[in-house]
Structure 1
Amino acid sequence: MGSDQRSAMRIAVLAGGMSSEREISFSSGKNAAAALREAGFGTVDLLDPADKGFLDDIRAGGYDAAFIALHGAGGEDGMIQHLMEYLDMPYTGSDALASACGVDKDLSKALYERAGIPVADGVAIRRGEKIDPDAIVASLGHDLFVKPAINGSSYGVTKVSDAQELPKAIERAFEYSSKVLVESCLTGTEITVGVFGDDDSLRALPIVEICCPDEVDFYDLSVKYVVSDSIHRIPARLPEDVYAQAQELACRAHRALGCFGFSRTDFIVTKDGPVILETNTIPGMTETSLFPDEVRHEGRAFSDVCAELVDMAIARHGCK
């Protein structure tokens, strides 16, 4: 799309929302809005779907496309995508079905397994079900991760190492989701792999290695949004064949869920190879987020990538 076309376009950046990731979403939205203005789009407005007048504003705004920067419930679960479909408005990222599949870690694991992607051993627990901590430990081991099945950004995630700690950790996870996953704690190097492009041009971005400080058990909120080259290492220090395998698996996960435009998939590289953790269908877009880091390391301007996401959204809409 040429600069003259972009200068005449109106883009609504959707950020904020109603999830526990509301403030992070605002940071993503502001960063994406600045990038779109830098890319030459004439009007870029930041709209919050949680505002009372949101529907009136987006209907009356004459927008050519919506750039979705909403994380968690209402953003990555298909809700806002359904609304954009109803309004007949082009929007960035995955459609409602892929979003719903990606946000449910239990469902996405089944799709990963079907696609031949290694997953961690685990069990899903629904609210109201009786649990037997000793049986879970006997099956999965003492070191476990307890996480909400539908949530993001490490909210409600607990690492436990004893059966007695499980009930409290499960109860905490239920604060964020009606379904909880308990998984074996994997030993290895944590990495994340961004994926970018449409169906014909899909490619994996440079891999980020997550290096948590010694005093932190895992990559949680205390370090996730900290600017530090000692935490994000690009490219990841992996053997060449493992590096290529992780990139291929990230593309396979993207396709298994039916994602579009971009995604970011997290892995633990064990002694047997990469094991998938989850796929983010709307990766963080803040100044310290992983996806923008990968884009910059590839040598591309973040503004160009955001503009291409809009271009892809409009092209997809035109094919319907």
Structure 2
Amino acid sequence: MKKNIAVIMGGYSSEVEVSLKSGQVVYNHIDTEKYNPFKVHILQDKWVVLDENNNEFSINRHNFSSEINGKKITFDCVFNAIHGAPGENGTILAYFDLIGLKHTSAPFYQMALTFNKRDTLSVVKQYGIPTATSIYLNQGDTISEDIIIEKVGLPCFVKPNNAGSSFGISKVNAQQELIPAIEKAYKEDSEILIESFLDGTEVSVGVIQYKGDTVVLPITEIVSENDFFDYEAKYEGKSQEITPARISKEEEETVRKTAKRVYEILNMSGFSRSEYILVNSKPHFLEMNTVPGITEESILPQQANKHGISLKELFTNAIEMALN
């Protein structure tokens, strides 16, 4: 009998539209000879299953079931395509654990940890992984522009601590730009991170579990037309994403080893895509995305394709690893 798969998408953050696109791609490419996929929108005002005509049927939050045209539907597995809260920060995954429903993501604690940029950096630094110099602020903290700039220098980056898709991030080139950048970041999150500028080649590395093994996918070089890899660069074509990256064999080997090491340090499973800056051939870890974009144009599917893994194979593997 075919398994029922709930593809959850949407979420409660600024990334809702990106997530809906990713979720639709998953829904379109799931192997329907093996599974019955269902589109499930998890939104602030409603949790609903959509049928082929986009009619909506409410989710029973006690057991994550639904009644569609008089028939009760229960799910064997959830495919998590929610960027940001509550999918990428682990919240809804803790709920699935409580009701005994399997899902394609890492355990909720790992998701919560990696969604918090400060805490992730704190962990990987203990293992000798190079990172940018950083300062952490809570909303309401006293701000000394001079102290911040003395520590991280200029230019620097100001970013929300818990957000994705580059929402709320600014590159600060002059002191007078610092406070507006901080205010922008606080619109996304009450915790922010200010990091030193790393001058080097930016690369993105997908690490996944595939057929029981940890697999480092081909590395992508990011060349942004904008000042940095912002929302426009990520989603509106304002960047070149070159796979495989134009780096030396030695650099490639170092990046691959580091990316796999970070994945293991953080006890990850499922999908991940991490960003690094190569400074003097040494990869500096920026952050990890545990629900990376999975449209046809997104980086991780591009990397999987170069590795010889189709979207259907990628999604089938994620479901099978969750079910086993």
Give me the TM-score of the superposition, normalised by structure 1.
0.91
Letter of the 2:217 counterpart: L
Report the CA distance between 1:280 and its aligned residue.
0.5
Letter of the 1:49 counterpart: I
Structural mapping, 1:231-250, within 5 Å: 231-250=240-259
Specify the SS of the correspondent of 2:286: strand
Specify the SS of the correspondent of 2:171: strand
What is the rounded CA distance, in whole Å, between the counterparts of 1:247 and 1:85 in structure 2? 32
1:262 alignment partner, one of 249, 268, 271: 271
Specify the SS of the correspondent of 1:102: helix
Greater percentage in strand: 2
Letter of the 1:248 counterpart: K
2:140 alignment partner, one of 108, 128, 137: 128
Report the CA distance between 1:272 and its aligned residue.
4.6
Report the CA distance between 1:266 and its aligned residue.
0.4
Specify the SS of the correspondent of 1:202: strand
Letter of the 1:43 counterpart: N
Asked whether 1:58 is paired with 2:64, we answer yes
Letter of the 1:266 counterpart: E
Report the CA distance between 1:200 and its aligned residue.
5.2
Letter of the 1:42 counterpart: Y
> For this pair of structures, how many residues does the alignment match?
305
What is the rounded CA distance, in whole Å, between the counterparts of 2:183 and 2:288 in structure 1? 24
Match for residue 9 of structure 2? Answer: 15
Match for residue 318 of structure 1? Answer: none
What is the rounded CA distance, in whole Å, between the counterparts of 2:277 and 2:60 in structure 1? 41
Match for residue 55 of structure 2? Answer: none
Specify the SS of the correspondent of 2:203: strand
What is the rounded CA distance, in whole Å, between the counterparts of 2:147 and 2:174 in structure 1? 12
What is the rounded CA distance, in whole Å, between the counterparts of 2:189 and 2:248 in structure 1? 37
Specify the SS of the correspondent of 1:276: strand
What is the rounded CA distance, in whole Å, between the counterparts of 2:215 and 2:101 in structure 1? 26
Any idea what the Cα deviations from partners look like across 1:210-260, whole Å, max 9, x if unmatched?
1112xx1011111212458x7110100111111111111111111222211
Specify the SS of the correspondent of 2:271: strand
Report the CA distance between 1:148 and its aligned residue.
0.2
Asked whether 1:297 is paired with 2:303, we answer no
Match for residue 94 of structure 1? Answer: 106
| Larger displacement relative to structure 2 (283-292 or 153-162) | 283-292
Report the CA distance between 1:269 and its aligned residue.
0.8
Specify the SS of the correspondent of 1:153: coil
**Unmatched 5+ residue regions in structure 1?**
316-320
Match for residue 296 of structure 2? Answer: 287
Contact 2:211/2:321, CA 8 A, preserved across alignment: no
1:44 alignment partner, one of 13, 37, 49: 37
Contact 2:271/2:290, CA 8 A, preserved across alignment: yes
2:25 alignment partner, one of 31, 51, 55: 31
Match for residue 178 of structure 1? Answer: 190
Contact 1:194/1:264, CA 8 A, preserved across alignment: yes
Any idea what the Cα deviations from partners look like across 1:82-112, whole Å, max 9, x if unmatched?
1111221110011110001000000000111
Asked whether 1:208 is paired with 2:214, we answer no
What is the rounded CA distance, in whole Å, between the counterparts of 1:187 and 1:59 in structure 2? 50
Report the CA distance between 1:42 and its aligned residue.
3.4
Q: What percentage of aligned pairs have identical amino acids?
A: 32
Letter of the 1:221 counterpart: Y
Match for residue 114 of structure 1? Answer: 126
What is the rounded CA distance, in whole Å, between the counterparts of 2:201 and 2:82 in structure 1? 28
Any idea what the Cα deviations from partners look like across 1:107-164, whole Å, max 9, x if unmatched?
0001111222111001000111001111111121110000001000000000001122
What is the rounded CA distance, in whole Å, between the counterparts of 2:250 and 2:260 in structure 1? 16
Q: CA RMSD in A?
A: 1.7
**Unmatched 5+ residue regions in structure 2?**
48-57, 67-72
Report the CA distance between 1:199 and its aligned residue.
9.9
Contact 1:206/1:294, CA 8 A, preserved across alignment: yes
Contact 1:189/1:268, CA 8 A, preserved across alignment: yes
Specify the SS of the correspondent of 1:284: coil
Give me the TM-score of the superposition, normalised by structure 2.
0.90
Contact 2:89/2:108, CA 8 A, preserved across alignment: yes
Contact 1:253/1:279, CA 8 A, preserved across alignment: no
Report the CA distance between 1:37 and its aligned residue.
3.4
Report the CA distance between 1:302 and its aligned residue.
1.3
Report the CA distance between 1:198 and its aligned residue.
6.1
Specify the SS of the correspondent of 1:97: helix
2:80 alignment partner, one of 56, 68, 78: 68
